[in-house]
A and B are shown apart, each in its own frame.
Chain A
Amino acid sequence: MANLATFEEGTRQLLMGNEAIARGALEAGIGFAAAYPGNPSSEIIGSLADVARDAGIYVEWSVNEKVALEAAAAAAFSGVRSLVAMKHNGLNVVLDYLMGLALTGTKAGIVLVTCDDPGALSSTEEEDSRIVAKWANLPLLEPGTFQEEKDMTRWAYELSEEMKSVVLIRGVTRTSHARGDVEIGERLPPARDARFAPSNPVEFTSVPAPFKHMLANRKMERVREIFESSPFNRYEGPVKPDLLIVTSGSGWFYALEAVRALELEKSVGILKLATTWPLPEKLVREHLSRAAEVLVVEEIDPFLEGNLKELVGEDPAGVGPVRFYGKRSGHIPAFGEINPDIVTAALARILGIEYRAVEPDYSQKALALTSPFTHGRIVGFCAGCPHRATFWSIKNALKLDGRDGFVSGDIGCYSMAVGPAGYFQVKTMQAMGSGTGMACGFGKLAEFGFTQPVLTVCGDSTFYHATIPAIISGIYNRADFTLLILDNSATAMTGFQPHPGTGRSATGENTPTVDIAMICRALGVRVEETDPFDLQGTTEKVLDLMRDKGVRVLIVKRECALVRARKEKPAFKMRVDSERCLGESCGCSRLCVRVFQCPALTWDVSQGVAGIDEVLCAGCGVCADICPAGAIIREPAE
């Protein structure tokens, strides 16, 4: 079956936006791709890893985005076109190197794709990466269609090499994770003459910085000229519109559909910009001068909006009076993600048009008929997830210990322990590795009267990514905390990508395993190990560790339920003996469904007994150990 590397030129394929970007990079002849998984960007490098052999390229999952960018830059410095992809948090991680790279430049083309997550659908915070382009003064592209995601990525390499500069491409969830049909182009082979040969002593450094800064600024003037005539910037609408919509990225589809929904094709024009830093100033001024009212449609921050206003500010007379609407005016929310309804409503409100997408009668009827039933779903651990068992033990251990201990949390599936899924045990959460970083602080507060035991958690992938330096800092500064490494042999939340502990590379080869327990022991701290499904043993170990001093590590080891399910059949067959089930009565009070809350545990209201949903049950057997009546029967599966 054809794949991303072998699709025939000229065919139309249904591609995810991320796959389109990957294909664009392949068509440009990249040889090197690196990333750390992070949604909505994971499939860019993920899909390249799947076809690396067919494409004859090198693809890796690096331990974090900083290393990924550094490795990719090395390839580019050596004449091999390279691609790095990350989510917005990853951009935060690479900033230090990126600033240096902006002044250094490159030899072969290097493109950095940053995928934002408006509305934080797969993230713990939302932020707009585009500002980094302005901050570092680098070219920024925002493809608006799936075809553009491919074609602009391919073109980005030409731009990158002409300007000898890294080029940024920004996507969002609705461009990255959506799918659309794309026409496939020709694929170039990667360079095979890699060589690192600086032509002067500082060619691949950022020094002398002010001089290189001046050169970089000059480059951007040239980029601006190129952007002026880019075919990816487009205008649709009347010559002199009553209102001009200026948009980029995902905003374009929404603007298009809003104009259609309100039947304003004759009076509203849409300027779609795909090159948004530096702005193609002449083009933009041209269109701004033909409209008195402008609505800016973009995701997350008023980046484009602010830059347009700066532009006007530089030469107000040249453009004439313009009134701006957008996030600053409150017509488009300045938080969360936008959608066609938001844009339509904004347009209608500005132009004073009455518009209702849904008949009020239908809305009312829908509310009446469905609202008693459309209960929200909590995002939680899968059936059989080791984290549920781990946080159950942590909860009990903290309660038994009685000194008001708590967990400083981190990023991964276990982040959900902030909520009911993990019994609200995780109390802080900001960034990869920050759980242990914060524990280094909490663990030094004894002299200020602090008496609470400090626990912190991180996953196996997070451990390699960011936690190691924090552990070392804690050891060196003699902080008191217990780190629980939740080793489920997966970078689970982002899609089960391999990492240094799994023994497998991005492209499926066997690799050396970097053993977490060995590293911790080598650091010289007390290291214990436990199986989270042993609830009693884990609780006792946590209690014991909490009574100790210094940095302590508990490796909580059991494979992710979903990873396991791909390889093995369930270990146990579970059922409820309804005769023994105490249900709501004193002595149970529905412990399994009400408190433990595995999604495979069901409650029969009419019979007043618990049950097992066979479709959802992973057969892990843990619920049998928490039932006070021994009513949950655990039998080995055939």
Chain B
Amino acid sequence: MMEKEPLNIIITGVGGQGNVLLSQLVGKVLVRGGFHVTIGETYGASQRGGAVMSHLRVSRQMQYGPLIGEGQADVIVGLEPIETLRVLAQYGNADVTVITNSRPVFPAAVSSGGAKYPTADEIASAMAGLSARSWVVDATDIALELGPPILANVVMMGTLVGSGILPVGAEAFETELRESLPAGRDGSSADRLAMNLEAFRRGMAAVAP
């Protein structure tokens, strides 16, 4: 596993997709692993259907600022394809790893104005042309097989871990899932945990070589 100093991760999506929760989960695991973590988030009004971005800085040595500079991302994880492309164009570079969920959330320009949403091919080739490694994952489809669509963000967490770019392994993430999902007295919480673990593993499998 690479240890770049600092490791710059961007997680992006549309408001309401669980972007913030995902970045927090990743951050917590890394702090547990003894790293300095800073997460910068853009939300608030943008939650209402706007683009959301989390910048994560990971370092052994020191704390970094909450914003990544242009062209400085090491890995970009997108819960929505247009947002992935947007972030890639601004923060990507020839060495970046980029992974996106395939499920579109149509902007108003497309549904009301007649603008075109990129095709699967256009998305994949743009990503391939602007990165060292890229994957398109049907995270929402996987989520819907297992439960509610919001599970897509756990699937994408799996892809991030599966890409091997993080300095922490899968076990630490599974531990975090076990601890952060609230314990209940009935079987439903156990089901919920199982669902999340499965989503995580399916995500990892989706980017396995």
Contact = CB atoms under 8 A, between A and B. Distances in A.
Contact of A122 (B45, B67, B129): B45
A351 interface: no
Given A40-B44, A178-B39, A366-B92, A358 B31 contact: no
Interface in B112-132: 112-118, 122-123, 125-126, 129-130
Contacts of A601: 111
Contacts of A377: 14, 49-51, 107-108
B31 A13 contact: yes
Contacts of A597: 108, 111-112
Interface in A1-57: 1, 12-14, 39-40
Contacts of B28: 14
Interface in A50-79: none
B191 interface: no
Given A14-B27, A180-B38, A370-B86, A358 B65 contact: no
A341 B68 CA distance: 9
A146 B63 contact: yes
A375 B93 contact: no
Given A14-B37, A181-B63, A373-B117, A603 B111 contact: yes
Interface in A473-504: 493
Interface residues of A, number: 70
Nearest to A366: B89
A389 interface: no
Contacts of A637: none
B135 interface: no
A181 B49 contact: no
Contact of B39 (A180, A359, A379): A180
A359 B93 contact: yes
B69 A180 contact: no
Interface string B74-103: 000000001001101110111000000001
B40 A374 contact: no
Contacts of B86: 370, 374
B89 A180 contact: no
Interface stretch (A252-260, A303-311, A394-402, A452-460): A252-260
A253 B70 contact: no
Given A362-B130, A369-B126, A594-B112, A121 B46 contact: yes
A379 B37 contact: no
Given A14-B28, A178-B38, A359-B94, A253 B64 contact: yes
Contacts of A585: none
Interface string A612-633: 0101100000000000000000
A373 B122 contact: yes
B157 to A, nearest CB: 15
Interface in B167-187: 179-180, 182
Contact of B116 (A179, A339, A605): A605
A420 B108 contact: yes
B48 A381 contact: yes
B27 A615 contact: no
Interface residues of B, number: 67
Interface in A371-388: 371-382
A402 to B, nearest CB: 26
A357 B65 contact: no
Contacts of A421: 48
Given A12-B31, A121-B42, A341-B70, A376 B109 contact: yes
Nearest to A122: B44
A599 interface: yes
Nearest to B180: A1
A39 B122 CA distance: 38
Contacts of B16: 382
A369 B124 CA distance: 11
A510 to B, nearest CB: 23
Interface in B21-72: 24, 27-28, 31, 35-46, 48-51, 63-72
B133 to A, nearest CB: 16
Contacts of A366: 88-90, 92, 130
A175 B122 CA distance: 37
A340 B63 CA distance: 15
A250 B65 CA distance: 8
A179 B26 CA distance: 12
A66 B51 CA distance: 33
Given A250-B65, A602-B106, A362 B41 contact: no
A177 B93 contact: no
B85 A374 contact: yes
Contacts of A595: 112
Nearest to B86: A374
A375 B31 contact: no
A358 B69 CA distance: 10
Nearest to B179: A1
Contacts of B125: 369
A174 interface: yes
A261 B69 contact: yes
A177 B41 contact: yes
Interface in A324-380: 339-341, 344, 357-359, 362, 365-367, 369-380
B116 A174 contact: no
A272 interface: no
B65 A257 contact: yes
B67 A380 contact: no
B63 A180 contact: yes
Contact of A358 (B37, B43, B45, B71): B71
A102 interface: no
A378 B113 CA distance: 12
B126 A375 contact: no
A174 B67 CA distance: 8
B70 A179 contact: no
Contacts of A594: 111-113
Contact of B49 (A375, A493, A599, A605): A599
A593 B49 contact: no
B80 to A, nearest CB: 10
A593 B65 contact: no
B152 to A, nearest CB: 9
A594 B106 CA distance: 13
A339 B149 CA distance: 34
A415 to B, nearest CB: 9
A187 interface: no
Contacts of B116: 372-373, 605
A306 B3 CA distance: 42
A146 B69 contact: no
A340 B38 contact: no
A179 B48 CA distance: 22
Given A375-B110, A377-B51, 14 more contacts: A14-B28, A145-B63, A146-B38, A173-B44, A180-B66, A253-B38, A257-B69, A362-B93, A365-B130, A373-B82, A374-B89, A375-B115, A590-B112, A615-B103
12 contacts: A14-B24, A181-B35, A254-B65, A359-B94, A362-B71, A370-B130, A378-B108, A382-B16, A416-B48, A593-B112, A597-B112, A605-B114
The 4 closest A-B pairs by CB, nearest first: A253-B65, A122-B44, A358-B71, A178-B66
